[in-house]
Amino acid sequence: MGPVPRTLELFYDVLSPYSWLGFEVLCRYKNIWNINLQLRPSLIAGIMKDSGNQPPALLPRKAQYLRNDIRLLGQHVQVPMQFPKDFFSVILEKGSLSAMRFLTAVNMEHPEMLEKVSRELWMRVWSRDEDITEPQSILAAAEKAGMSTEQAQGLLEKIVTPKVKNKLKENTEAACKYGAFGLPVTVAHLDGQTHMLFGSDRMELLAHLLGEKWMGPVPPAINPKL
């Protein structure tokens, strides 16, 4: 028997491009490091509101910087990222409430599908500039991830239920309790201590805390092709 895997929680929202980067890196390392990765779909809008934070792109210089940052990081991490053409409409007006409720329902009923469905929603919004708010968009992502139409339809019907709504709220509140002011947030539970790391660029620090080896965002053993 080797050492018990350490629990990592990743709080994320598919509206957040940095969440996608953190998600892919942790998914690559989950079988390399001795960790138990728990994906926690959360609502970035709720976290921003609760913490009094503002979306970074509201500041023109930051918006300009983000565009380039996302492009370069996408190349570096090997994630096919593309800024949505109408960024403000996609991010600030349409949001991700239905998509994140859907992922919450997936996690409650088919947790083994959560990684793939999350990735397909990111592919839509942050790679192909496609909608993630309409029911048919969410169904298309679920089916592309390998769900049957019936399965996906059944989960979609549940996003209006108090059970699913409350679970998403719970995850979002849990992130806030850990001190989140944006996403992604990785929470490492180590030797009775809790470490909250913000952003997708703290993975080297995470490796240090875990006593694991950091081999860059694309570890050699991994085929990063998405």
Q: Which of 16, 42, 96, 127 is catalytic?
A: 16
Residue 172, class by beta-carbon neighbours within 10 Å (0-12 exposed, 13-18 middle, 19+ buried)?
buried
Contact 173, 194 (CB under 8 A): no
Query: How many C-beta atoms surround the C-beta of residue 11 within 10 A?
Result: 29
Contact 200, 182 (CB under 8 A): no
Report d(CA 69, CA 66) in Å as an integer: 5
State yes or no: is 137 an active-site residue.
no
Question: What are the φ/ψ torsions at residue 110 (nearest 5 degrees)?
Answer: -135, 65
Q: Outline where DSSP puts E strands in 42-107.
A: none
Q: Which residues are catalytic?
A: 16
